Structure 1
Amino acid sequence: MILALMIQQPTILENKMKDKWEVTAMIPAFMGKDPVSRLAKQAVTTKMTKDFNEFMKEVKKDWVPGYESAPYGFDSGAVRQLGETTAQSYTVSTYRFLGGAHGVGVVECMNFALVNGKAKQLQIWDIFRKDKRVQLEKTILAKAKKNPMTDWLQDPEMNKKLEPSELANFWVKGKDGCVWEFDPYVLGSYASGPFTFAFSWKELKPFLRSPNPLKKFINP
């Protein structure tokens, strides 16, 4: 088993001092020297740093020295959902507040595995058959529609379709299958909140590639 120390809810502390912002950022600490752990550390840390830098660009554009500004807020945390030497999955949650009625929170899923002996960040079509995209999307939306809070799916006139990034936003739950994460506004109003839908490998079997980098979990 690989041990990983995760800071669950890193925070950004900002203090306006002499027309400057002092910012402190905290990111997860990883342990594990195997190839998959090393790649995951690099990719997750790079993503969290990029998200923070983009947030600070927005702050600098919005803030005018000498004037009171709306309070700013940023939180970013990574949770390892699956951790083995051959495969790992992470969810990276980011919350940004730049004023207004509420902030915006999103979750991005990142999957890694050994492929032909080398560590690789998996893309959706490494696991699923691209020619089955339409059927995979219909299967996901059919389950999501059973939740009455998915406003956009309850209205047939909207004919909701998933963007490529939305379809690819899932993490691997080991032998139990995969979990799709949907941010607010994707399937319903902001008040409906984010949605999470789990699928077993049995449900996903018609869409899986063969050979598959996750065969260890698909066929234990």
Structure 2
Amino acid sequence: MAMFDDIRASLAPPHPAGRPFIMGGLIAALLGVAIGHWLIWLGLMFTLFCLYFFRDPERVPPARPGAIVAPADGRIVSMGLSAPPPELGLGAEPRWRVSIFLSVLNVHVNRMPLDGVVTRIAYRHGAFVSASLDKASTSNERNALAIRVASGQEIAVVQIAGLIARRILCGVREGDPVRTGERFGIIRFGSRTDLYLPDGLRPLVAEGQTMIGGETVIAEMLP
């Protein structure tokens, strides 16, 4: 059953952000009919890569009140106490940060970690060092979101560009109500997503663990 689930996820329809790239690959393949067979194969290989990279499988959030789920697929590369991005205005008090690295093989659609309301979105230009490095959280180009949950506490999710990622897309606005596991954006071609937990909350996961966006429970809100 797990094997069929993996196959189904790999064949999931692409995210709308991938359509221009997929169309570009198909057009290149068609042009290859007139230019040369090498372009046909190049166009088809690029199209297949984009279909895989931009796949957008359905996810089922856990039916656990207060569960904070992973905002992205990938591997946890670092965990520790760190202040949220200053542009969000959440203060300088360190809180637990869970950093998830997404390789080009991971699903790159970002998902909301918990029900709430988006209170602030702030984009910051920066560098494009490897997203697997710890300094990527502070040095790289990023898009940060603050989300107020039912308890009145705020969590932060940060989309971070990587070495070859050059485009961060966010589909929500300040004031939007959001639901756990709901899609809110995508980062193209290798990236990182940081999750800052509310004050006093500790993660239930470990460094090196693999996350499934919208499903893996990272922490639970205190009752």
Higher helix share: 1
TM-score by length of 2: 0.35
Greater Rg over alpha carbons, structure: 1
TM-score by length of 1: 0.35
